Amino acid sequence: MHFLIRCLERLALGMNRLAAVAAVLMSLFVFLGVVMRYFVGAPFAFSDEFIGLLFATMAFLAMPLGLVMRRHIILDIVTRGLQGPLRHFVDIGATVILTTFCVWFFALSYDFADFSRLLDARSDIGSMLLWPWMAMLPLCTVVMVLVSLGQLFDSLRQLAGRPSLFSLAGEEEAL
Protein backbone atom coordinates (compact mmCIF):
# COMPACT_ATOMS: atom_id res chain seq x y z
CA MET A 1 0.00 0.00 0.00
CA HIS A 2 2.83 2.30 0.90
CA PHE A 3 4.29 1.69 -2.53
CA LEU A 4 0.99 2.41 -4.29
CA ILE A 5 0.62 5.72 -2.48
CA ARG A 6 4.17 6.66 -3.41
CA CYS A 7 3.29 5.88 -7.06
CA LEU A 8 0.17 8.07 -6.85
CA GLU A 9 2.21 10.93 -5.47
CA ARG A 10 4.74 10.58 -8.29
CA LEU A 11 1.91 10.46 -10.82
CA ALA A 12 0.35 13.65 -9.44
CA LEU A 13 3.73 15.39 -9.53
CA GLY A 14 4.20 14.28 -13.13
CA MET A 15 0.78 15.63 -14.06
CA ASN A 16 1.69 18.93 -12.43
CA ARG A 17 4.75 19.14 -14.66
CA LEU A 18 2.65 18.40 -17.74
CA ALA A 19 0.25 21.12 -16.62
CA ALA A 20 3.19 23.51 -16.31
CA VAL A 21 4.21 22.63 -19.86
CA ALA A 22 0.64 23.37 -20.99
CA ALA A 23 0.87 26.67 -19.12
CA VAL A 24 4.12 27.63 -20.85
CA LEU A 25 2.60 26.69 -24.21
CA MET A 26 -0.50 28.69 -23.42
CA SER A 27 1.47 31.83 -22.53
CA LEU A 28 3.67 31.49 -25.60
CA PHE A 29 0.78 30.83 -27.91
CA VAL A 30 -1.24 33.84 -26.72
CA PHE A 31 1.90 35.96 -27.02
CA LEU A 32 2.65 34.68 -30.52
CA GLY A 33 -0.95 35.37 -31.48
CA VAL A 34 -0.42 39.07 -30.68
CA VAL A 35 2.92 39.10 -32.49
CA MET A 36 1.40 37.46 -35.55
CA ARG A 37 -1.42 39.97 -35.63
CA TYR A 38 0.66 43.11 -35.30
CA PHE A 39 4.04 42.28 -36.75
CA VAL A 40 3.24 39.63 -39.33
CA GLY A 41 -0.28 40.75 -40.15
CA ALA A 42 -1.64 37.21 -40.16
CA PRO A 43 -3.62 36.40 -37.02
CA PHE A 44 -4.05 32.75 -36.01
CA ALA A 45 -7.59 31.92 -37.06
CA PHE A 46 -8.39 29.54 -34.23
CA SER A 47 -6.06 30.64 -31.46
CA ASP A 48 -8.91 31.36 -29.04
CA GLU A 49 -10.19 27.81 -29.39
CA PHE A 50 -6.76 26.27 -29.04
CA ILE A 51 -5.95 28.36 -25.97
CA GLY A 52 -9.27 27.39 -24.45
CA LEU A 53 -8.41 23.70 -24.94
CA LEU A 54 -4.92 24.17 -23.48
CA PHE A 55 -6.49 26.00 -20.58
CA ALA A 56 -8.88 23.14 -19.78
CA THR A 57 -6.03 20.63 -20.08
CA MET A 58 -3.85 22.63 -17.72
CA ALA A 59 -6.64 23.10 -15.18
CA PHE A 60 -7.51 19.42 -14.98
CA LEU A 61 -3.92 18.18 -15.01
CA ALA A 62 -3.22 20.51 -12.10
CA MET A 63 -6.02 19.27 -9.85
CA PRO A 64 -4.66 15.91 -8.57
CA LEU A 65 -1.50 17.37 -7.02
CA GLY A 66 -3.59 19.93 -5.15
CA LEU A 67 -5.48 16.99 -3.71
CA VAL A 68 -2.34 15.07 -2.74
CA MET A 69 -0.85 18.15 -1.11
CA ARG A 70 -4.17 18.98 0.58
CA ARG A 71 -4.12 22.44 -0.89
CA HIS A 72 -7.75 22.62 -1.97
CA ILE A 73 -10.05 25.20 -0.49
CA ILE A 74 -12.21 23.88 2.34
CA LEU A 75 -14.75 25.44 4.67
CA ASP A 76 -13.29 24.45 8.04
CA ILE A 77 -15.18 26.80 10.38
CA VAL A 78 -16.75 23.81 12.14
CA THR A 79 -13.96 21.26 11.90
CA ARG A 80 -10.97 23.43 12.64
CA GLY A 81 -11.06 22.93 16.40
CA LEU A 82 -11.54 19.15 16.35
CA GLN A 83 -8.86 16.86 17.76
CA GLY A 84 -8.22 13.11 18.08
CA PRO A 85 -10.50 10.35 16.77
CA LEU A 86 -13.40 12.75 16.13
CA ARG A 87 -11.12 14.62 13.77
CA HIS A 88 -10.44 11.42 11.81
CA PHE A 89 -14.15 10.56 11.66
CA VAL A 90 -14.92 13.96 10.15
CA ASP A 91 -11.99 13.51 7.77
CA ILE A 92 -13.45 10.21 6.62
CA GLY A 93 -16.80 11.89 5.98
CA ALA A 94 -15.08 14.62 3.99
CA THR A 95 -13.13 12.09 1.94
CA VAL A 96 -16.27 10.07 1.21
CA ILE A 97 -17.87 13.21 -0.21
CA LEU A 98 -14.79 13.87 -2.30
CA THR A 99 -14.67 10.28 -3.58
CA THR A 100 -18.38 10.25 -4.42
CA PHE A 101 -18.10 13.47 -6.35
CA CYS A 102 -15.00 12.38 -8.25
CA VAL A 103 -16.49 9.00 -9.19
CA TRP A 104 -19.71 10.61 -10.36
CA PHE A 105 -17.91 13.26 -12.35
CA PHE A 106 -15.61 10.65 -13.84
CA ALA A 107 -18.57 8.66 -15.16
CA LEU A 108 -20.24 11.76 -16.59
CA SER A 109 -17.12 13.12 -18.25
CA TYR A 110 -16.30 9.70 -19.67
CA ASP A 111 -19.72 9.58 -21.35
CA PHE A 112 -19.28 13.13 -22.56
CA ALA A 113 -15.93 12.43 -24.20
CA ASP A 114 -17.03 9.07 -25.57
CA PHE A 115 -20.19 10.49 -27.12
CA SER A 116 -18.14 13.25 -28.75
CA ARG A 117 -15.81 10.58 -30.13
CA LEU A 118 -18.75 8.72 -31.67
CA LEU A 119 -20.00 11.94 -33.23
CA ASP A 120 -16.53 12.87 -34.39
CA ALA A 121 -17.24 16.29 -32.85
CA ARG A 122 -14.93 19.06 -33.97
CA SER A 123 -14.26 22.61 -32.86
CA ASP A 124 -16.15 25.41 -34.62
CA ILE A 125 -13.43 27.34 -36.35
CA GLY A 126 -10.29 25.25 -36.45
CA SER A 127 -12.12 21.94 -36.96
CA MET A 128 -9.93 20.31 -34.30
CA LEU A 129 -10.93 16.88 -33.13
CA LEU A 130 -12.33 17.42 -29.65
CA TRP A 131 -12.53 14.07 -27.92
CA PRO A 132 -8.81 13.69 -27.12
CA TRP A 133 -8.98 17.00 -25.24
CA MET A 134 -12.25 16.05 -23.59
CA ALA A 135 -10.69 12.77 -22.51
CA MET A 136 -8.46 14.79 -20.16
CA LEU A 137 -11.46 15.24 -17.87
CA PRO A 138 -12.11 11.55 -17.08
CA LEU A 139 -8.38 10.84 -17.14
CA CYS A 140 -7.60 13.44 -14.48
CA THR A 141 -10.69 12.69 -12.42
CA VAL A 142 -9.84 9.00 -12.30
CA VAL A 143 -6.51 9.94 -10.75
CA MET A 144 -8.41 12.07 -8.26
CA VAL A 145 -10.62 9.08 -7.47
CA LEU A 146 -7.51 7.02 -6.75
CA VAL A 147 -6.00 9.76 -4.60
CA SER A 148 -9.19 10.19 -2.62
CA LEU A 149 -9.51 6.43 -2.11
CA GLY A 150 -5.90 6.46 -0.89
CA GLN A 151 -6.75 9.26 1.51
CA LEU A 152 -9.80 7.36 2.72
CA PHE A 153 -7.62 4.35 3.48
CA ASP A 154 -5.10 6.66 5.12
CA SER A 155 -7.75 8.24 7.35
CA LEU A 156 -8.90 4.78 8.46
CA ARG A 157 -5.29 3.88 9.32
CA GLN A 158 -4.90 7.10 11.26
CA LEU A 159 -8.12 6.31 13.12
CA ALA A 160 -6.39 3.09 14.16
CA GLY A 161 -3.52 5.19 15.44
CA ARG A 162 -1.04 4.62 12.61
CA PRO A 163 0.87 7.47 10.92
CA SER A 164 -0.14 8.94 7.56
CA LEU A 165 1.31 7.36 4.42
CA PHE A 166 1.15 10.56 2.40
CA SER A 167 4.41 12.44 2.40
CA LEU A 168 3.63 15.45 0.25
CA ALA A 169 0.85 17.14 2.25
CA GLY A 170 1.85 20.75 2.87
CA GLU A 171 5.38 20.21 1.47
CA GLU A 172 6.14 23.22 -0.68
CA GLU A 173 9.64 21.95 -1.52
CA ALA A 174 8.22 18.76 -3.03
CA LEU A 175 7.68 20.61 -6.27
All residues at 6 or more sequence positions from 70 whose CB lies less than 8 Å from its CB, including other chains:
169, 170
Site track for another protein across 116-155, x = CB under 8 A: x--x-xxxxx-x--x---x--x------------------
Give the burial class of 127: count Cβ atoms within 10 A of its Cβ; 0-12 exposed, 13-18 middle, 19 or more buried.
Answer: exposed
Our finding on whether 1 is near another protein (CB under 8 A) is no
Inter-residue contact 59 to 112 (CB < 8 Å): no
Sites for another protein among residues 75-94 (CB under 8 A): 75-80, 90-91, 93-94
Sites for another protein among residues 95-114 (CB under 8 A): 95, 97-98, 100-102, 104-105, 108-109, 111-112
In this chain, which stretch among 3-11, 23-31, 154-162 interacts with another protein, using CB under 8 A?
23-31
Rounded to whole angstroms, how far apart are CA atoms 123 and 68?
Answer: 33
Among 73, 83, 160, 161, binds another protein (CB under 8 A): 73
Rounded to whole angstroms, how far apart are CA atoms 37 and 34?
Answer: 5
Among 7, 14, 115, 162, binds another protein (CB under 8 A): 115
**Count of other CB atoms within 10 angstroms of residue 3:** 8
**DSSP code for 39:** I
Sites for another protein among residues 45-64 (CB under 8 A): 45, 48-49, 51-53, 55-56, 58-64
